[in-house]
C-alpha cells in the first residue's frame, strides 16, 4: 500500500501508521451472512406465490 504523507507532520504519520497496523490485526467488521438464507427467502416467497396463484376462488 502506498501512502503519500504530503504536508503532515511526524506525529500524524506515526498515528496513521499505528492506525493501519491496528486495522490489519483486527478481523473484518462485516459478518457475511450464510448464502443459504437468501435462497430460503426466495423459496418461501415462491411457495407463497404458488399458494396464492392456485388458491380456491369463491364463486
pTM for the predicted model, two decimal places: 0.39
Interacting residues of 5 by C-beta distance below 8 A, sequence separation 6+: 12, 13, 16
Say how many CA atoms lie within 13 Å of 8 toward its Cβ. Answer: 12
Q: How open is the CA angle 24-17-19, to the nearest 5 degrees?
A: 55
**For residue range 23-50, what is the model confidence (pLDDT) as tens digits?**
888 877 677 666 688 888 999 999 999 9
Contact 44, 52 (CB under 8 A): no
Amino acid at each position: 500500500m502506498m501512502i503519500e504523507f504530503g504536508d503532515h507532520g511526524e506525529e500524524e504519520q506515526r498515528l496513521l501508521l499505528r492506525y493501519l497496523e491496528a486495522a490489519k490485526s483486527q478481523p473484518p467488521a462485516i459478518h457475511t451472512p450464510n448464502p443459504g438464507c437468501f435462497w430460503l427467502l426466495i423459496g418461501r416467497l415462491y411457495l407463497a406465490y404458488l399458494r396464492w396463484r392456485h388458491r380456491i376462488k369463491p364463486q
